[in-house]
Amino acid sequence: MSEVKYIRGYPEYMRELIDTVNQTRIKRKDYTPRAMSMEERGNVLKLHPDFAPGGKRKISIGQNKGDIGANEVVDLLEAYPLVKDEEIDLSKVDYEPDILIIGGGLAGTSAAIWANNQGVPAEKILLANKLRHGDANSIMAEGGTQAADRPNDSPVIHFLDAMGGGHFANKPDVLKALVEDAPLIIHWLIELGAMIDREENGEFSEKWGGGTCRRRMHACRDYTGLEEFRVLRDEFRNRKIPSLEFYPAVELLTDGEGRATGAILCNLETSEYEIVKAKSIILATGGFGRLHIRGFPTTNHYGATCDGLVLAYRAGAKLRDTDTVQYHPTGAAFPPQIIGLLLTEKLRSMGAQPVNKDGEAFVFPLEPRDVEAASFIRECYVRNKGILTPTGMRGIWLDTPLIEVKNGEGTIDKAFPGMKRMFERFDIDMRTDPVLVFPTLHYQNGGVETDPEGKTDVEGLYVAGEVSGGVHGKNRLMGNSTLDCMVFGRRSGIYAAEYVKKAKRNGKLSLEHVKRYVNMLEKAGIKRERKAPILLPDYRGKAVLARMIDVF
């Protein structure tokens, strides 16, 4: 904006504050605040958006009645369907694959490839995407993928790290599957030609992640998810597996007796519905960042609107750990164009320190994400040592130049090309200046309850990736989400393939479960003011909306 004077990307008053950070950098080079005790963690977590008063309520209907969830999520569970039973002709089936996969991020794409490996012919698989194949949170994963493959590490230590990070609420058998398959997944990726950062001797260049006690992060520069995903999508296309784009699922279909038998898809451009009949369905629809829970900005992609939970819940699947939401400690807080976008945890793994207004390092940089995020909120809103932005946000400095001081000049160019490029577009050089951060809505910790095979308690319905619940408990660690997608994408693909070989197609497609759900909504006295799934958020200007007329 023209009247504000910017000097190398920052307004003048922020420049002065940056001087303070620059002055204390050398002192902080060899000083890291110690990690918190469990008691200290407990204290600061009281300020976390999950625990701060308000924001949540009990689910009033369905199999999780009485459980706590974020208001925004419960709103969608307590909402009416988009389609009415009488509008839909289920007798004309448009697609009849053995396996229908809903959602084409890392999880869905992995599931397709492994179902194919397991003997399901390509033409008997169908991948339906809400947007393009790959418009998913997966490709935005920056930091890495965990796998315990160094001699001083083991899947057992990985298990303990994730258990503690998840507040011991993780499902142990599901978590075991995650950590024990991790080395296999890395091996699979490099067999397919993924470029994971290596040392000259061929070993992986492994980094720290928050809440881990070993270095086990496998990264691809700061484009980890992008590299993993585009390799898998390329492989998917080589196998000629059918895929539909701009076709979100708006409802699942069941046989009326608890088995999932298909889905209703909607062509986003023509609004025409299409019917899929399948022997088994893998739900890989991702998370809910675009619900902006508690008014937070998000790192998530445009389509992350919680559809999977809504559809699976109506079909009778149980949810779990709906009471927690992950806020990533380091979302961008400045410039305003990129508020909420992710600044990878790998920045802190490689030495960037969170610093307050007075240039002090105030927290161990690699606490589990919920603890780290809560400590930023405390610094900004309790201790009043945050930095005020021109748009009224408060933030914490992330001292990125320290990465160059600790690892040598040129490290940022090499390890963080994506981050550097993002700030350069707004005239900020993160090699010489710190960047401003504040927690941002990042991840759906819970979801549709799963078992080690990716099964839900609805027969024929599998889940993989962020939509599932159980593996991360109440808080996910860095590097376990891309891993989750591939481990349970693979597992659900394999077990769904085994299931369809045995399953008899009973041929019945119905919306009975939706009718029952609507009855429950009515009985509970829920007004018909909300519909779900919402498919896409709406950011249109209010003035335009106020003058909109319905002409065709």
- Per CB under 8 A, which of residues 285..314 are in contact with another protein? 292, 294-297, 299, 301-302
Q: Cβ closer to another protein: 225 or 460?
A: 225
Q: Which of residues 139-168 bind another protein (CB under 8 A)?
A: 139-140, 147-152, 154-157, 159-161, 163-164, 168
Residue choice 18, 82, 102, 194 for contact with another protein (CB under 8 A):
194
Q: Is there binding between residue 519 and another protein (CB under 8 A)? A: no
Q: Cβ closer to another protein: 231 or 363?
A: 231
Q: Which of residues 2-31 bind another protein (CB under 8 A)?
A: 2-3
Per-residue binder mask for another protein (CB under 8 A), 36-75, x = binder: --x----------x--xxxx--------------------
Q: What are phi and psi of 463, to 5 degrees?
A: -135, 150
Q: Which stretch binds another protein (CB under 8 A): 9-17, 77-85, 446-454, 535-543?
A: 535-543
Q: Cβ closer to another protein: 13 or 168?
A: 168
Nearest approach, Cβ of residue 36 and another protein (Å): 12
Token pair of 294 as six digits: 């508690």
Reference 77, options 274, 263, 318; nearest CA is 318
Residue choice 18, 131, 487, 534 for contact with another protein (CB under 8 A):
131
Reference 449, options 287, 322, 280, 266; nearest CA is 322
Q: Which stretch binds another protein (CB under 8 A): 16-24, 93-101, 506-514, 531-539?
A: 531-539
Reference 204, options 184, 190, 222, 223; nearest CA is 190
Non-local CB neighbours of 280 within 8 Å, separated by 6+ positions: 98, 99, 100, 260, 460, 461, 462, 496, 499, 500, 503
316-343 as b/e, with b when 16 or more CB fall inside 10 Å? bbbbbbbbbbbbbbbbbbbbeebbbbbb
Q: Rounded distance, CA 198 to CA 184, Å?
A: 17
Q: Which of residues 363-382 bind another protein (CB under 8 A)?
A: 377, 381
Q: Which stretch binds another protein (CB under 8 A): 77-85, 194-202, 446-454, 460-468?
A: 194-202
Q: Cβ closer to another protein: 248 or 447?
A: 248
Q: Cβ closer to another protein: 131 or 278?
A: 131
Non-local CB neighbours of 466 within 8 Å, separated by 6+ positions: 107, 137, 286, 287, 443, 444, 447, 481, 484, 485
Reference 464, options 496, 494, 489; nearest CA is 489
How many residues bind another protein, per CB under 8 A? 110
Q: Which stretch binds another protein (CB under 8 A): 112-120, 308-316, 442-450, 543-551?
A: 543-551
First to last CA, the chain: 38
Residue choice 42, 119, 121, 172 for contact with another protein (CB under 8 A):
172
Per-residue binder mask for another protein (CB under 8 A), 448-487, x = binder: ----------------------------------------
Q: Rounded distance, CA 128 to CA 479, Å?
A: 26
Residue choice 23, 43, 63, 337 for contact with another protein (CB under 8 A):
337
Per-residue binder mask for another protein (CB under 8 A), 198-227, x = binder: x--xxxx---x----xxx----xx-x-xxx
Q: Is there binding between residue 114 and another protein (CB under 8 A)? A: no
Which H/E stretch holds residue 463? strand 461-463
Q: Cβ closer to another protein: 260 or 343?
A: 343
Residue choice 421, 505, 516, 531 for contact with another protein (CB under 8 A):
421
Burial class (CB in 10 A: 0-12, 13-18, 19+), 163: middle
Token pair of 299 as six digits: 């790192």
Q: Cβ closer to another protein: 342 or 532?
A: 342
Q: Is there binding between residue 173 and another protein (CB under 8 A)? A: yes
146 DSSP assignment? E
Number of residues written out for the chain: 552
Do 469 and 321 contact (CB within 8 A), yes or no? yes
Per-residue binder mask for another protein (CB under 8 A), 234-273, x = binder: xx-xx-x-----x---------------------xx----
Rg of the chain, C-alpha, whole Å:
23
Do 330 and 435 contact (CB within 8 A), yes or no? no
86 DSSP assignment? G
Q: Which stretch binds another protein (CB under 8 A): 419-427, 448-456, 472-480, 481-489?
A: 419-427
Nearest approach, Cβ of residue 212 and another protein (Å): 9
Residue choice 392, 408, 507, 525 for contact with another protein (CB under 8 A):
392
Non-local CB neighbours of 504 within 8 Å, separated by 6+ positions: none
Q: Which stretch binds another protein (CB under 8 A): 78-86, 135-143, 311-319, 471-479?
A: 135-143
Q: Cβ closer to another protein: 88 or 341?
A: 341
Q: What are phi and psi of 127, to 5 degrees?
A: -105, 120
Do 441 and 296 contact (CB within 8 A), yes or no? yes
Nearest approach, Cβ of residue 238 and another protein (Å): 5
Q: Cβ closer to another protein: 195 or 524?
A: 195
